[in-house]
Amino acid sequence: MDNQSISRITRIIVVAGANGTGKTSTTIVLADYLQTKGRSVQLLDLDLDTSNTNVGCLSAVLPNSHKINVHTKAGRKALHDHASSGASHVLVDMDAGAASVAMECFDCVYPESKEAGIVFTVIGVITGDPKSVESVLGWASRLQGKASFLIIKNDIFGAGGTFDYFDNTPRVRDYLDAFNPPIIHFDNRSAELEYLTRLHRLSLSQVANNETNVPGLQKMGLVVHAQRHRQAIFSEFDRVQNLLTNTN
């Protein structure tokens, strides 16, 4: 990846965390948010299931995303090539199983990216599950000062904001003291909305905009719920807009 091609990018955002935390749904709604702010987005799907049959993977919902297997040499080259797309933002949905290899790719591309003025943001999506928190701590330990961090407390299990492990673990406190990441919160969406959007490979915005022909998702109650849920998420992103949209 040469400096001339990467100079068009302003920010690379990696959505990271343990599997089952809502990384993909976060990536999808973040792409929508960035586009409403006038940013062009290149979407990369690092889900290790290359079959495209996984209804929860990014490329199953957004066909314009690029699935990459970073465990192969060709995949690692593709990661570099797609990051040279000319979009202002490269948004990466990170499979937990690909994290270590992706970090190695990051180490390779970081010096030239920094020279070109590209900034990196890592979004750590956590739930009440301690594994999700440990995954984010792993990213922080590896990347140190090379990226800015954002924590999303994703209440996908309807725990009512209970994140005891994150809130009460000394290692987490050390991380917060060292990096001082902003923390935002996503409320859980209805179980019916979550199930139907995944089953039919639809985004939250498609339901909110009533752009689906799925009868169950055309019910006014679910459409309004999707609209309110999206607005709540966008409001949370607005709190950290500089971290997501600006170049420095």
Query: What is the reported pLDDT for 31?
Result: 93
User: Which of 120-129, 185-194, 226-235 is most confident?
Assistant: 226-235
- List the beta bridge partners of residue 15: 93, 123
* Span between the terminal Cα atoms of the chain, in Å: 22
Query: What is the reported pLDDT for 1?
Result: 41
Q: Which domains occur in the chain, in start order?
A: 3-190 (3.40.50.300)
Instruction: Inform me whether the pLDDT recorded for 239 exceeds 60.
Output: yes
Q: Are 47 and 153 in contact (CB under 8 A)?
A: no
- Euclidean distance between CA atoms 84 and 218, whole angstroms: 38
| Residue 173: Cβ within 10 Å count | 12
Residues contacting 235, CB < 8 A, separation 6+: none
- Euclidean distance between CA atoms 21 and 174, whole angstroms: 23
Question: Which DSSP helix (H) or strand (E) runs through 1?
Answer: none
Instruction: Inform me whether the pLDDT recorded for 248 exceeds 80.
Output: no
Question: Which DSSP helix (H) or strand (E) runs through 25?
Answer: helix 23-36
- Euclidean distance between CA atoms 43 and 92, whole angstroms: 6
Residue 99: alpha-carbon gap to chain centroid: 13
Q: Higher pLDDT residue, 112 or 219? A: 219
> Mind giving me the DSSP string for 93-108?
EE-GGGHHHHHHHHHH
User: Which of 6-20, 63-77, 116-130 is most confident?
Assistant: 116-130
What integer is the mean pLDDT of 121-146?
A: 89
- List the beta bridge partners of residue 120: 12
Instruction: Inform me whether the pLDDT recorded for 238 exceeds 50.
Output: yes
- Euclidean distance between CA atoms 147 and 59, whole angstroms: 25
Residues contacting 77, CB < 8 A, separation 6+: none
Q: Higher pLDDT residue, 115 or 238? A: 238
Q: Are 122 and 147 in contact (CB under 8 A)?
A: yes
pLDDT in tens, 33-91: 999 998 888 888 886 664 555 556 787 788 778 888 777 777 767 766 666 567 788 88
Stated pTM of the model: 0.87
Residue 60: alpha-carbon gap to chain centroid: 15
- List the beta bridge partners of residue 41: 89
The pLDDT-based confidence of 5 (bands split at 50, 70, 90) is very low
Instruction: Inform me whether the pLDDT recorded for 6 exceeds 60.
Output: no
Percentage of the residues of the chain whose pLDDT score is greater than 70: 84
